[in-house]
Structure 1
Amino acid sequence: MANPPRASRRPLRFVHAADIHLGSRVSPPPGMELETAADLIDATYAAWRSIIDLCIREEVDFLLIAGDIYESADGNIRAQLQFKEGLNRLKQNNITAYIVHGNHDPDDAWSRSIAMPENAVIFSSLEPEVFIHHDSKNKPRAAIVGMSFASAHIRENLAERFPRRDKKWPYTIGLLHCSVGGGQGHEPYAPCTIQDLRQCGYDYWALGHIHQPTVLDNGDSHIVYAGNPQGRDMGETGERGCRLVTVGADGAVEVEVVRTGGYLWQEIEIDTGECGDLGDLEERIRHELSVVSERAGCAIIGRIILTGATALHHDLVAGDGAAALAGRFIEDPPIGRYPVHPERIICRTLPVVEREAVRARDDVLGEICRQSDAAFEDTEVRDYLKEQLSSISSSTARPYLSEPDDGEVDTIIREAEALLLSWLSEGGRP
């Protein structure tokens, strides 16, 4: 009789989370009922609890947090208490949390007014540290190499200070808050390159700072931004969560994306072309919202973008059609298994005109089209428009906005053209 096969070694399992931003207020859209608005405002706390639930449910070996636990470095007491509560739940289940701090919670500013439990391993900001994680039988399962931010504005390439992998180390993980390759849309703190990370020879890099979930490399060295676990505005659309990583006995790595956010921010485009009147359009919007919410399987905060050539263009843009529709969704919110909360309605429709025929005309409408095309093609004109748009933004209550990029300029040009064509061709006034 053949001997029974030896039991395979338990896979190594861990959760990679980052940019939790506990205490970050999420602003509710207009018309949201008070109870739901309160849940949304505290959505970052709910996402943190979901991460802890996942760790316990999946019986992971440890949790990795790649910086920015808190929204600010001022030591928000409630945020610290919520964070400690989660760590205590991990402790009760013999799960360790390995933590580095980032630009929102650096060492020199974060108020440690509340002591964290001993299962929280916080990396130094002086030099990279190496911790060997052992299982319940005291066998080494993973080496975690990490370094925290000493201050908020780190411009040094911290990755260059990380040691090369020691041959004696087990499965090796780098834990760092950084900006790889520029990190579009984020301050370039602790800037580095993919090559800087690869040359360390680690198996997995658990990164933080970039809120958009991103896999930079899934080869011999997995290099991953987990993204933030809960989107907070329309700049953070799409799925948000953390990564559940399983390393088999044969070294095979499985990385699973796990949603932790209770609310999904999403842009929802709706073609208005076949709608005969605003009542038809309202019904079409409601139908599309129900389809999108069922597909997402969770509550959605949606920015509705109306597109297409339509006879309703003038009513939507020059009239109060778009505002009236927005008001309808406040008065009578969309109903479904998963609620949709319209954040705003943006009209990018076009008037029903033959543009090329209009462009060939020797009148003001033709000149509008020709000037619009010139704005696309002429570098000097585009630069002038960007300068003017930047000046407008900086002189209003929105000085925090970045300068418009080329895509935003293109959208503004086409929307301005459509608005003028609609007004003038239908006898309206700009």
Structure 2
Amino acid sequence: MQPPSRLLRFVHTADLHLGSRVITLPGMDSQTSSGLTDATYTAWQSIIDLCIREAVDFLLIAGDVYDSADRNIRAQLQFRDGLRQLEKHGIAAYIVHGNHDPANAWSRSIQLPKNAHCFSSEEPEVIIHRDQDGTPIAAIAGMSFATAHIRENLAERFPPRDREWPFTIGLLHCSIGGAIGHEPYAPCSIDDLKVCGYEYWALGHIHQPAMIASGDPYIIYAGNPQGRDMGETGDRGCRLVTVGPDGSVGIEPVRTGSYHWDLIEIDISGAVDLGILEERIRERLAAISEEAGGPIITRLILTGVTPLHHELAGGGITALAERLTEDTPTGKHPVYPERIISRTTPRINREEIIARDDILGEICKKSAGLLSGDKKEITKAIAPLYISYARSYLNQPDDEEMCAIIEEAEALLLSRLAAGGIE
């Protein structure tokens, strides 16, 4: 590698999904609801502000700027406006199209500014980025998706690194090793990327931020800059990368998401009073609020063995949810309960029940078989619940979520039947 003659700095982002739907909740004030609706645009502006504040050399965008299925012209205009801000500060932007914003879906009537370069979808291109003095400080190899469904391994088409190139970056929207929860578009392996001899791979498509390899080369999924539902929990942002004249690489995650989605599990073992339980939940949420970097939307999961199990299943959960929605837990940042799920269990000896030959034993045997076996049958059975208006907001459950549904259903059946006098 030929290290840059001076400090090189760039921002790596991906999967902006500008204008895509973000769930709002009942009980939210109008300002928060509006802010959540525009959260993807706010995250984009945060990335632009970061580039300007840190005076980076360029911005890398690894696909899925917006969702082409929505034909969202506002999203494309907002994207262009952000690039114009960078142009005023002499900051370049290098972009590849992904499966949600393929080259054939961009509006030809919206011209991007001159500082932005969109890589070809026909063959990989290599751009030598030069500083204001004309000195080459980085080589960027990239290739876009021509259409939405690319099954070809595009990484195999990238050229090997030329020994004369400066610090070299691969920019690609792809799926490494069949990532769970994402379509295997442009599938490739780590070895496919390593063989090119680049120093850094700036990847998009996987929304969960991840460092696949921490050097030789660095292989990074920036993740999406703003979580949009409970499938995208945790901090979301971009990567600020600094390359020293000695070739050292520093990678800093920078949060850009205004709203934080989170799953919070609360063990309520031994709880015997709903009023005291509500206070325990509020105390937990207040503590989380103090540590958060912004508003939180949370799904509460109650676990443990408790005498309250029957009462929770019989309407207690609904009552708790309504009270928390009407009176949002306060703290440093607001906390909005998206849903409360009871995964508590009654005081029932499951091992004894599964050995029985009655209906309770049959329920336990059936759920045990579903938990350990192929879940295709039950997934097919509940699929119609997700093929509706709600499909824009809900993902079909993965295996882990399906196991939780089965366990919850078993607990509910056992508790209802036991409460009805079957022992």
TM-score bin (small chain): over 0.9
Q: Deviations over 1:201-225 (max 9, x none)?
A: 0000001111111111112100111
Q: Does residue 1:342 correspond to 2:332, yes or no? A: no
Tell me the residue number matched to 1:154: 150
Q: Does 1:94 align with 2:94?
A: no
For residues 114 and 75 of structure 1, what CA distance do their matches in structure 2 show?
A: 13
Q: Give secondary structure in 1 for the equivalent of 2:299.
A: strand
Instruction: Confirm whether residue 355 of structure 1 aligns to residue 350 of structure 2.
Output: yes
Q: 2:412 aligns with which of 405, 419, 424?
A: 419
Match of 2:312 in 1: 316
Q: Which residue of 2 aligns with 1:393?
A: 383
Q: Is contact 1:73–1:110 with CA below 8 Å preserved after alignment?
A: no
Aligned residue among 94, 116, 120 for 1:120: 116
Give the alignment of 1:191-230 within 5 angstroms.
Answer: 191-230=187-226
Whether contact under 8 Å (1:386, 1:404) holds in the other structure is no
Deviation at 1:74, TM superposition (A): 5.6
Structure 1 residue 73, shift from structure 2 partner: 5.4
Deviation at 1:248, TM superposition (A): 1.0
Please give the TM-score of this superposition, normalised by the length of structure 1: 0.91
> How much does 1:103 deviate?
1.2
Measured in 1, the distance between the counterparts of 2:369 and 2:217 equals 47
> What are structure 2's unaligned runs of at least 5 residues?
none
8 A contact 1:214–1:224 mirrored in 2: yes
| Counterpart among 295, 306, 313 of residue 302 in structure 2 | 306
Equivalence for 1:42: 38
Range with greater deviation from structure 2 (36-45 or 153-162): 153-162
Q: Give aligned pairs, total.
A: 416
Contact 2:199 2:215 in 1 (8 A): no
What is the 5 A alignment of 1:23-422? Answer: 23-72=19-68, 75-317=71-313, 319-360=314-355, 363-377=358-372, 382-383=373-374, 386-394=376-384, 397-398=387-388, 405-422=398-415
Q: Compared with structure 1, are the counterparts of its residues 389 and 165 closer, same or farther at alpha carbon in structure 2 (3 Å cutoff)?
A: closer
Moved more, 406-415 or 59-68: 406-415
Query: Higher relative contact order at CA 8 Å, sep ≥6: structure 1 or structure 2?
Result: 2
Contact preservation (8 Å) 1:87, 1:97 = yes
Hey, what's the Cα distance between the residues in 2 that align with 1:363 and 1:263? 49
Structure 1 residue 301: deviation in Å? 0.6
Instruction: From the superposition, tell whether residues 86 and 402 of structure 1 become closer, same or farther in structure 2 (CA, over 3 Å).
Output: closer
* CA distance 1:422–1:185, change in 2 (3 Å): same
Distance 1:234 1:373 in 2: 27
DSSP 3-state at the match of 2:127: strand
Write the distance in 1 (CA, Å) between the matches of 2:364 and 2:146. Answer: 54
CA distance in 2, matches of 1:25, 1:293: 25
Q: How far, CA to CA, are the matches of 1:408 and 1:53 in structure 2? A: 37
TM-score, with structure 2 as normaliser: 0.93
SS at structure 1 position matched to 2:345: coil
How many Å apart are 1:366 and its aligned residue?
Answer: 4.3
The answer for unaligned runs of 5 or more in structure 1 is 1-7
Q: 1:405–1:341: structure 2 CA closer, same or farther, 3 Å change rule?
A: closer
Counterpart position of 1:5: none
